[in-house]
Amino acid sequence: MNMMNFKNNRAITFLAGFGACLAVLLVMGAKSPEAPSPVKPASDRDVYYPNTEALGKDEMRVIACGTGMPTTRAAQAAACFLVELGNGDKFIFDVGTGSAERISSLQIPYDYLDKIFVGHLHADHIGSLAEIFIGGALMGRQKPLRIWGPNSTVPELGTAYAVQKMKEMYTWDLAGRVGLVDFRGYSLEVNEFDYKGENAVIYEDNGVTVRSFPAIHSLDGPVSFSLEWNGLKFVFGSDTYPNKWFIEYAKDADLVVHECFVAAPDLVRKMRFTPEQALLVGTQIHTAPEAFGKVMETIKPRMAVAYHFFKDFDTTASVNDRIRTTYDGPLSLAEDFMVWNITKDDIRVRMAVVEEATWAPPLAGKPQPPGGDPDREKFSKDAGVPVEAIKYSDFIIGGRWGEVDEVLRGVYKEASEALGQEFPYPESK
């Protein structure tokens, strides 16, 4: 009897297994028309390859181009988030150290990357500004770079001062380019606004509204931003201690990026802080993971994005566990090249796979030959350099080694023949 039952059980198990296999085969059979093609591109890849996907007209795409810390590392650039909209507009929020390389990896024409919003003036939030200013112009930006940033209690602590001094730091660089390059991209437009503005509109164009509200971080001046377009809302915190403005103005947002600092014990262990410094910096100047969770639990975004910590195999779990003591909603622990595609119905999170060995991306406009711009006087004045190229001194000119003239004449001859246009060789004097 027992044996019989055993046998029956085995038979039943066998039949059940067979039935399950049959069901799987039937399901597979039903799906066979959609089976991946061995020769066509895959229709649904769980990765983002830049410049291979159309952005829907109701869609927002956000790409993390820097998620790290003030201490530089190759694995993570410092704060930078790119927002791309279905209407064609693109906005950069913060340009921390190392982020310019991330941006160039996306191979977006630089004329489309002319709007930068800076939440505060720490190096890990503006450290790549000069690279985007000068490198971006060299890679094809043919219009001024526009920067929005807060003022502070005195002019010397404001964005306009920082940008002016950065430009002055590069006086030699800019002066040396006169007469050699199209100068339209070497111009800066600074829009400094009141850091005390509470949900104040600082940008409004083409259906896009950017607002600013105060943040609490280091000194008076830092702000957070919201960007609203087409019923979608993106919020970027820059750096801040949890504050009442963020709680109020980040409400109803789809994607909320807020700093989430390294957990205090790791600041001691990995960053070599003293315990006193770790507690002060990690919980009072910045937002501790537990506090980040509390903020998100209160504002309940469709997706919370934590950044501003080094995301390593031995530190991520601690940040996650600490956030989860206070927040159980949707969460992305950001790292460089994380991508969010946002529509009213869906938020899709993927990683981008980018080309690191990039050259200049395609140009959005026609380049002008050196010195050919009718407004070059204006642009030279903006850059703070003479209109005409500054010549070498006789001392330096006297050091030119004329023995290479012969071979370089050959290069000019080759270009003249190839392009059907005479390029006269600038003979050594």
To the nearest whole angstrom, how small is the minimum distance from the Cβ of residue 123 to Zn ion? 9
We find the least distance from the C-beta atom of residue 157 to Zn ion, in angstroms, to be 13
CB 178 within 8 A of CB 391: no
Token pair of 422, please?
């005479």
Closest residue by Cα to residue 118 from 99, 135, 143, 105 = 99
Nearer to Zn ion, 182 or 239 (CB): 239
The nearer residue to Zn ion, 114 or 124, going by C-beta atoms, is 124
CB of residue 209 to Zn ion, shortest distance in Å: 25
Output 124 or 192, the one with its CB closest to Zn ion: 124
| DSSP per-residue string spanning 169-214 | HTHHHHHTTTTTS-GGGS-EEEEEE-TT-SSEEEEEETTEEEEEEE
Stretch that binds Zn ion, among 24-32, 161-169, 238-246, 385-393 (CB under 5 A): 238-246
Q: Residues 104 to 123: which contact Zn ion by CB under 5 A? A: 122
Q: How many residues at the interface with Zn ion, by CB under 5 A? A: 3
Query: Minimum Å distance from CB 232 to Zn ion?
Result: 26
Residue 204's Cβ-count burial label (10 Å; 0-12, 13-18, 19+) is exposed
Least distance (Å) between residue 120 CB and Zn ion: 6
Nearer to Zn ion, 122 or 302 (CB): 122
Whether 195 and 220 have beta carbons less than 8 Å apart is answered as yes
Closer to Zn ion by Cβ: residue 221 or 293? 221
Task: Give the position of tokens 């896009």.
Answer: 208
124 touches Zn ion (CB under 5 A): yes
Torsion 315-319-325-329 (CA) sign: negative
Question: Cβ contacts of residue 254 below 8 Å, gap of 6+?
Answer: 60, 232, 233, 234, 301, 302, 303, 342, 347
Q: Which is nearer to Zn ion, 127 or 136 (CB)?
A: 127
What's the token pair of residue 386?
């003479």
70 with 100: CB under 8 angstroms? Answer: no
Is 239 a binder of Zn ion (CB under 5 A)? yes
Quick check: 382 binds Zn ion (CB under 5 A)?
A: no
Please report how close the Cβ of residue 207 comes to Zn ion at its closest, in angstroms: 30
Distances, alpha carbon 111 to alpha carbons 133, 134, 205, 363, 397, in Å: 12, 13, 17, 8, 37
Q: Closest approach of Cβ 262 to Zn ion, in Å?
A: 11
Between 285 and 387, whose beta carbon lies closer to Zn ion? 285
Cβ(117)–Cβ(92) under 8 Å? yes
Question: Could you identify the residue written with the tokens 């800019």?
Answer: 174
Distance CA 301, CA 235 (A): 10
Nearer to Zn ion, 122 or 233 (CB): 122
The yes or no reply on residue 182 touching Zn ion (CB under 5 A) is: no
Q: Of the ranges 139-147, 237-245, 289-297, 347-355, which one interacts with Zn ion (CB under 5 A)?
A: 237-245
Options 126-134, 199-207, 239-247, 314-322: segment touching Zn ion (CB under 5 A): 239-247
| Identity of the residue, 77 or 347, whose beta carbon is nearer to Zn ion in the bound complex | 77
Q: Tell me the closest approach of the beta carbon of residue 124 to Zn ion, in angstroms.
A: 4
Residues 21-50 within binding reach of Zn ion (CB under 5 A): none
Residues facing 211 on adjacent strands: 201, 226
311 lies in the site for Zn ion, by CB under 5 A: no
Least spacing, CB of residue 150 vs Zn ion, in Å: 13
- Write out the residues near Zn ion by the rule CB under 5 A: 122, 124, 239
